[in-house]
């Protein structure tokens, strides 16, 4: 009977100790805050900080060690590149220097009749013999007769859209209408005429008639095109 009572006493003591530990864990821990409440608070803190961390990741574009290569860092790099490009726009090394203007001294200007009788048109050719590239401006100032008759007027539709640059040995061309070829048309004969590069300030050339008998010109009908690197259908049809 003594042994049974001793075991009962030991078991009761162990049960009491376990109950005391349980009550201690569920108690205030001497701070007025229950342990369960502290654990719940910690869980709430984790839950609250996780969305914030996610938001920060979304705003900065960084994810771990690999995200630093993108996001705001990349945007700044792109901005720096754009700024560098802006300085290039102000005249960087890629800009090409403008070609000098062609002069009569550096050109060989000749004339050739375009069509058959009654030979109403001719073609002026200006070959670059200067040994360097140059630009042909506007149209030739042609005097078929005396200066009082004025220059041959230009036809606006033949004006090219881009600058006419002649490399060494390359030629520019102009279509010129001398008359309409009518039998009753009043014409005058010229055996030579002048071509001035007035827009270039490049001097004057004297051009011989391509026909021994001379050219028949009518001051009421003549017209000239602009310098081009080739004669174009339509724009030079006048």
Question: Which tens digit of pLDDT belongs to each residue from 107-161?
Answer: 999 999 988 888 999 999 999 999 999 999 999 999 999 888 999 999 999 999 9
How distant is the alpha carbon of residue 88 from its chain centre? 12
Question: Which tens digit of pLDDT belongs to each residue from 149-202?
Answer: 999 999 999 999 999 999 999 999 999 999 999 888 999 999 999 999 976 678
Total Cβ atoms within 10 A of residue 199: 14
Using alpha carbons, select from 218, 225, 222 the residue that is nearest to residue 154.
225
Question: Which tens digit of pLDDT belongs to each residue from 206-234?
Answer: 999 999 999 999 999 999 999 999 888 78
Using alpha carbons, select from 145, 117, 152 the residue that is nearest to residue 225.
152
């Amino acid at each position: 009977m003594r042994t049974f009572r001793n075991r009962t006493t030991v078991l009761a003591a162990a049960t009491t100790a376990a109950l005391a530990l349980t009550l201690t864990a569920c108690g205030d821990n001497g701070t007025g805050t229950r342990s369960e409440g502290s654990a719940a608070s910690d869980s709430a803190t984790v839950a609250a900080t996780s969305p914030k961390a996610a938001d920060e990741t979304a705003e900065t574009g960084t994810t771990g060690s690999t995200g630093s290569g993108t996001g705001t860092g990349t945007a700044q790099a792109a901005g720096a590149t754009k700024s560098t490009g802006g300085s290039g726009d102000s005249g960087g090394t890629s800009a090409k220097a403008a070609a000098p203007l062609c002069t009569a001294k550096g050109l060989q200007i000749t004339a050739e009749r375009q069509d058959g009788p009654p030979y109403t048109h001719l073609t002026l050719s200006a070959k670059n013999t200067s040994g360097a590239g140059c630009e042909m401006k506007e149209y030739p100032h042609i005097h078929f007769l005396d200066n009082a008759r004025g220059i041959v007027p230009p036809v606006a539709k033949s004006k090219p859209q881009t600058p006419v640059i002649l490399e060494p040995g390359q030629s520019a061309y102009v279509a010129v209408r001398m008359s309409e070829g009518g039998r009753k048309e009043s014409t005058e004969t010229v055996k030579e005429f002048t071509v001035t590069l007035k827009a270039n300030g490049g001097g004057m050339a004297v051009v011989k008639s391509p026909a021994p008998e001379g050219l028949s010109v009518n001051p009421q009908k003549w017209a000239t095109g602009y310098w081009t690197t080739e004669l174009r259908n339509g724009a030079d049809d006048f």
